Amino acid sequence: MQNNLLDTPIEYLKGVGPNRGTLLKKELGIFKYKDLLSLYPNRYIDRTRYYKINELISTNSEVQVIGKIVHIKIVEQKRGKRLVAIFTDGVSEMELVWFQGIKWVQESLKLNEPYVAFGKLNQYGKTFTMPHPELDLWEEHQQQIQKGLQPIYPSTEKLSQRISNKSMIKLMQQLIIETHTLFSDSIPPKLIETLNLLPLQHALIQIHFPKNAELLARAEFRLKFEELFYIQLQLLLKNINRKNRIKGHAFEKVGNYFTSFYENHLPFPLTGAQKRVIKEIRNDMGRPVQMNRLLQGDVGSGKTIVAFMSCLIALDNNYQTCIVAPTEILANQHYIGIQELASPLGLEVRLLTGSTKAAERRDLHKKLESGELHILIGTHALFEDKVKFKNLGLAIIDEQHRFGVEQRSKLWKKNIIPPHILVMTATPIPRTLAMSLYGDLDISIIDELPPGRKPIQTLHFFEGKRLRVWKFVKDEIQKGRQVYIVYPLIQESETLDYKNLMEGYEGISRDFPLPDYSVSIVHGQMTPAEKDIEMERFASGKTNIMIATTVIEVGVNVPNASVMIIESAERFGLSQLHQLRGRVGRGAEQSYCILMTGEKLSNDSKVRMETMCRTNDGFEISEVDLKLRGPGNLMGTQQSGVLALRIADLVKDQEILQIARHHAIQLLQEDPRLEIEQHQKLKQTIIELSKKSTIWNYIS
């Protein structure tokens, strides 16, 4: 495609000009010809059928009729006037009506000339009326590009006042007339033939002005495939390039630390999935190329032990390791867990967060630089320039989507040869989303829970069953178990949340009085030290009920806690409900998650409650969540840029995405450097895309 004309500023297109150009830029971000060309219709109206007036029925739908105006009259009404034109097809009559712009419309109408009238129908008595119809002289109508399905373009309130949909259609027709000879395919001919794709020129004309539904479907497939195919190619090439360019430490030996831990200190047998993932990591770290792997595992699937054993491989090869977590609570939890696993091996493990005291920091920095410190666990504090390792060999990043690209790159620079990277997430990501957000990473999945874990039973109760739930809670506490009660946290309303939490706390304190029951409380307005004290009281069993906001979503690990009650569960997203449920079920006893809601639930809320009660599978839950919320919301705003797709939709077009990835992989296996003749246009397109920030800023 010749980009010079497509890069023409939009105001130069016939019919646009400076004023409309400014409006298109502000309202829709359309700066150049190519931006307008990529403004695909939202929907289409069938303009293939012309109705006779005696065929019309009262449906309030949009129809088109061929006929002539035989009479025009102005009718006085209580407020202002209306213009009425009697429209006939030679057999029957209907009325065309205007309430605005009457003088201009009256002057433009021609009597006894064939017109096509298009618009919404109303019926008064036996007479059909069409208010403010689109009118085209039959002769002009026949000359238009669009003869089939009429496109309806995205707009805004401000834009539609100045540029109607009809005007937008005319602009698009003008644009296609000026540019359609420039469209040339960059997708290789062999692939076009294999998938029977429409040529690009035809696809672009048919997406804007489809002759029929079949051609529209083929045009959509072609353009969606192309968009997803190029995203996948960029991701896969990025992975290939990194493996070719970024050298890594080759950890060739598995020594005493790993072997001794595996043979003598494993707290429980590894699952098949854990063994498979450790093998994948060992293979990666054994090569002189930087590992860049994503470790996905559901809540409680045992990612920590996999992370620790990965650290041991680095330590066996005389390299240090670090684990970075997004919050102090999570960093603390990792520290406690890793410290417990490391102590029999005589390893030095330290914690570095914003709360670490100055004297402790000095000692920690000294040991880090001398190599005496083996594993450093911490928060963003690890990114600071003064944190210097003797030889960092492996960096593990937990919940990496909560760190910026710039922050993560600081870790890479702590060594001349960058460390191996293992990214972990406890938020299961749907396969299609992982392909697009993390398509440049190698992915390992722990899809098996440790043996002996009983599936958590999830139950949904409306507010009216509160007494029954409290009786159940008392029975569980009687057995020596502990209970979480979580209240929603919505940032816009921290005072309201605090009020809800405190009211809940007072009510629960009355229903569960001392000395038989003792209650802890944790919320966002407490200091970190206060939170730690309350969490410690609960973890050590001094209190048997923990009332909290979602701060305990990640953090506390109390095997004795067997009940999770989520208040106003309809105010939580599916993945958050699943994360909260994962706080229980960590011991050998049967655990329960109770979802409390109001009586009236939206359809989405009903689906969320039903899904939670039906399955404990985080990956299945994430698929439902993706369908309910869409990709941008699921990943958080900072991830949505890669998903700002022009035409494809990651929820609806999962099949096309998989086809695109399959063919991208196949093409790069045949020609990894895109050297053969028929791939040159494709290579040029990739180079052009890589100059933009459409995707590179958002991939890890």
List of residues 6+ apart from 660 with CB closer than 8 A: 225, 228, 229, 231, 232
* 463 in the same domain as 588: yes
406 part of a folded domain: yes
- Quick one: pLDDT at residue 664? 94
Ranges under pLDDT 50 in the chain = 1-2, 491-492, 634-642, 693-700
Asked if 182 and 5 count as a contact pair (C-beta separation under 8 A), the reply is: yes
Query: Within 10 Å of residue 662's Cβ, how many Cβ atoms?
Result: 12
In this structure, the strands spanning 134-137 and 149-152 are: unpaired
DSSP string, 506-527: HHHHHHS-TTT--EEEE-TTS-
* 582 in the same domain as 526: yes
126 part of a folded domain: yes
201 part of a folded domain: no
11 part of a folded domain: no
Burial class of residue 390 (count of CB atoms within 10 Å of its CB; 0-12, 13-18, 19+): middle
- Partner residues linked to 514 by β-bridges: none
Asked if 355 and 381 count as a contact pair (C-beta separation under 8 A), the reply is: no
- Quick one: pLDDT at residue 270? 93
Q: Which residues of 70-94 are buried (b: 16+ CB within 10 A; e: fewer)?
A: eeeeeeeeeeeebbbbebbbeeebb
465 part of a folded domain: yes
Length of the chain equals: 700
**Is the bond into 515 cis (omega within 30 degrees of 0)?**
yes
- Partner residues linked to 444 by β-bridges: 295
List of residues 6+ apart from 640 with CB closer than 8 A: 631, 632, 633
Q: Which residues of 351-384 are buried (b: 16+ CB within 10 A; e: fewer)?
A: bbbeebeeeebeebeebbeeeebbbbbbbbbbbe
Asked if 434 and 306 count as a contact pair (C-beta separation under 8 A), the reply is: no
**Strand, helix or coil for residue 566:** strand
Encode pLDDT of 298-326 as tens digits: 877 889 999 999 999 999 999 999 999 98
- Quick one: pLDDT at residue 640? 35
Q: What is the CATH number of the domain that holds 73?
A: 2.40.50.140
Among the three residues 370, 401, 425, which one is the final residue of a domain in this structure?
425
Tokens representing 32 are: 């150049």
* 485 in the same domain as 576: yes
- Quick one: pLDDT at residue 408? 60
* 517 in the same domain as 550: yes
* 683 in the same domain as 589: no
* 363 in the same domain as 240: no
Q: Which residues of 168-197 are buried (b: 16+ CB within 10 A; e: fewer)?
A: bbebbbbbbebbeeebebbbbeebeeebeb
Q: What is the tally of structural domains in the chain?
A: 4
* 474 in the same domain as 413: no
Q: Which pTM value belongs to this model?
A: 0.68
Residue with the two structure tokens 């949340």: 497
- Quick one: pLDDT at residue 552? 62
* 493 in the same domain as 545: yes
* 588 in the same domain as 515: yes
- Quick one: pLDDT at residue 146? 59
Encode pLDDT of 570-588 as tens digits: 988 898 899 889 888 887 7
155 part of a folded domain: no
**Distance in angstroms (rounded) separating the CA atoms of residues 142 and 161:** 27
89 part of a folded domain: yes
What number of CA atoms fall less than 13 Å from residue 76's CA on the CB side?
0
Residue with the two structure tokens 């196949």: 666
List of residues 6+ apart from 216 with CB closer than 8 A: 44, 149, 206, 207, 210
CA distances from 256 to 163, 264, 316, 345 (A): 73, 11, 7, 9
* 239 in the same domain as 269: no
- Quick one: pLDDT at residue 638? 37
251 part of a folded domain: no
**Distance in angstroms (rounded) separating the CA atoms of residues 218 and 46:** 17
* 599 in the same domain as 691: no
Residue 381 is part of which domain span? Answer: 256-285+301-425
Would you give the DSSP letter of residue 415?
S
* 480 in the same domain as 414: no
Encode pLDDT of 472-490 as tens digits: 999 999 999 999 999 886 5
